[in-house]
Amino acid sequence: MMMHRRCFSSTTNRLAEYARKKKNKMHWADEAKLLNNIQRALTHYDDFYGNLFGKQWPSMRLGLLSPPKYMAIPNTFTGNIEPITQKLNGMGAYNIQQLWSNSLEEHEAKELDLNKDLGRLHQVDITLGAIAESKRAAELDILYQNAPTGKKLGELQLGKHTMGRIVSDVSEAAGDFIPSTKLKGMDDFTLDSEYFSSYLKKHDEPEEDESATEVEGDNEVLFLKSNQSSLLHFPQFLIPHAFENGSAMNFPPASRDSSSNLREYICVNGSSILPVIALDLRPGTNLLDMCAGPGTKSLMALMTMATDSITCNDLESSRLARVKQIFLEFLGTSNPDIATFTKFNSRDHPAREEYSRVLVDVPCLNDRVSCTVVDNNIFKPRRTKERLALVKTQKEILHSGLKAVNKKEGSAIVYSTCTLSPIENDGVVMNALKETEVSNLYVDLVGLMKLITPFEKAGVFRVTRIRCEVLVTPTKFCNYGPMFISRIVVKPSLAFVVEA
């Protein structure tokens, strides 16, 4: 009992100290000591997403902190789909594939206006710019307050700046102000404004020489017209089941099928089916999963029975081992004939062959995990540099994926994350497409919207349209996601240009 009282007292004291910090601004190094990894994540999200999503953020936040909503996908490799489906129906779950089909018939697809919501999207740019400038000013302020000698703050040109100058100014200030050997704790100081610069650099105001032409590789982003977009189908053998929104029901662990001894179904966060469906797998396609571990999406791709081969790539042996283990559980072999395993750095994948489908499901902030899991959290201080480097890593992986796709009409790349951050979503896609050397690439926003709208109309997902993709956002009663999906296709025929 005495130990419990001591723990309670210690926790109370820490919370009280944190509350005092909120009232009286505390030095950043002392503040960091008070926050555990989850608190750091929530502080970041409240500041970032709170400003970005406004009144919608509290509902999203509650969703992230609540248990996610799962779908159960019957294992086609058991050969007993019908009994498994009946079993799931008996639990009270409904067939998502059938619901999608019914909703598609009820809600006739309308012509998509690609200029819709441009005002709201422009406001996102403005908000991100304001957040970045605020963080930049705070970082300079910290450096200036602790400076024994060096430039005055005014000499750092705090007036009109492009985002490209933010990091250089702060880095210059750090070098001039604070020798790392003299200021205790500054070796842990990192520049959060770096995170925003990658998104906003393409939206900078022109330099002084406004007559300068576009640099090589600064492409326009192309969108398919409605009559050119792909007609994406729900895979015949992918039959997810889910409980009604707001239901407290959960799927029990999957039993083994009596005849095949394979797992009857796999449970996934429901939004995870969308990148796989967006691939539009068909007989004759070969798929590259660039970041395959832990293997859930690779398994779903195989469950569609609609691809001739799949290459599962991951740099880490432990993650490839997890892919093979999940194959063993659901396919009966860790090395199926149609699967190949490679171990390359996805940022520079050699792509010895070209693929008709490429899945680029990149490492990201992983908002839900960051908000709920303390261990190995991306907001752990020792992982700060890794967190700030995520955008660069994501863009390099996407660049690699764009090179790996074959150049035949209809080939497709799907980029996905499980974060709400437009820096890692919209920003990565837009910048990668502007910088890539690969030609004839088009954003298939229309095809993706036609695929996802029936889900939205049926109330399965809460969907937000971004610039060239869609975002599934979580809430307490519709707690799928977050999941961001962008579909890019090879289309030699003419498409119209939408300026980014």
For residue 178, what pLDDT is reported?
Answer: 37
Task: Give the residue carrying structure tokens 């963080």.
Answer: 135
Does residue 117 surpass a pLDDT of 60? yes
Tell me the CA distances in angstroms from 65 to 37, 45, 53, 168, 476, one per residue in order: 14, 12, 17, 36, 9
For residue 177, what pLDDT is reported?
Answer: 40
Question: Residue 355 gets which letter from DSSP?
Answer: B
Domains by residue range for the chain, with CATH: 63-108+225-490 (3.40.50.150)
Minimum mean pLDDT range among 124-133, 138-147, 207-216, 359-368: 207-216
For residue 79, what pLDDT is reported?
Answer: 94
Which tokens belong to 25?
């601004």
Radius of gyration of the chain (CA): 24
For residue 235, the one-letter residue type is P
> Across all residues in the chain, what is the average pLDDT?
80
For residue 216, what pLDDT is reported?
Answer: 41
Task: Give the residue carrying structure tokens 């326009």.
Answer: 220
Does residue 54 surpass a pLDDT of 70? yes
For residue 285, what pLDDT is reported?
Answer: 94
For residue 201, what pLDDT is reported?
Answer: 55
Does residue 347 surpass a pLDDT of 90? yes
For residue 110, what pLDDT is reported?
Answer: 57
Please give the helix or strand (H or E) that residue 34 lies within, else none.
Answer: helix 28-34
> Is residue 127 within 8 Å of residue 52, measured between CB atoms?
yes
Residue pLDDT, tens place only, 437-451: 999 999 998 889 889
pLDDT band at 125, cuts 50/70/90?
confident
Residue pLDDT, tens place only, 61-82: 999 999 999 999 999 999 999 9
Comparing 232 with 2, which gets the higher pLDDT?
Answer: 232
For residue 129, what pLDDT is reported?
Answer: 75
Mean pLDDT confidence for 262-291: 96
For residue 2, what pLDDT is reported?
Answer: 45
> Is residue 204 within 8 Å of residue 162, measured between CB atoms?
yes
Mean pLDDT confidence for 396-410: 94
Q: Is 100 exposed, middle or buried (0-12, 13-18, 19+ CB in 10 A)?
A: buried
d(CA 417, CA 431): 16
Residue numbers belonging to the annotated binding site for S-adenosyl-L-methionine: 314, 361
Catalytic amino acids? 418
For residue 176, what pLDDT is reported?
Answer: 40
Percent of the chain exceeding pLDDT 70 equals: 73
Residue pLDDT, tens place only, 91-110: 999 999 999 999 887 766 55
Residue pLDDT, tens place only, 240-254: 999 998 888 999 999
Q: Which of 157, 160, 167, 231 is nearest to 197 (CA)?
A: 167
For residue 141, what pLDDT is reported?
Answer: 66
Evaluate the CA torsion angle 134, 363, 168, 213 in order and state its sign. negative
Does residue 161 surpass a pLDDT of 50? no
Q: Is the pTM of this model over 0.75?
A: yes
Does residue 3 surpass a pLDDT of 90? no
For residue 122, the one-letter residue type is H
For residue 158, what pLDDT is reported?
Answer: 35
Mean pLDDT confidence for 300-312: 96
Does residue 229 surpass a pLDDT of 80? no
pLDDT band at 6, cuts 50/70/90?
very low
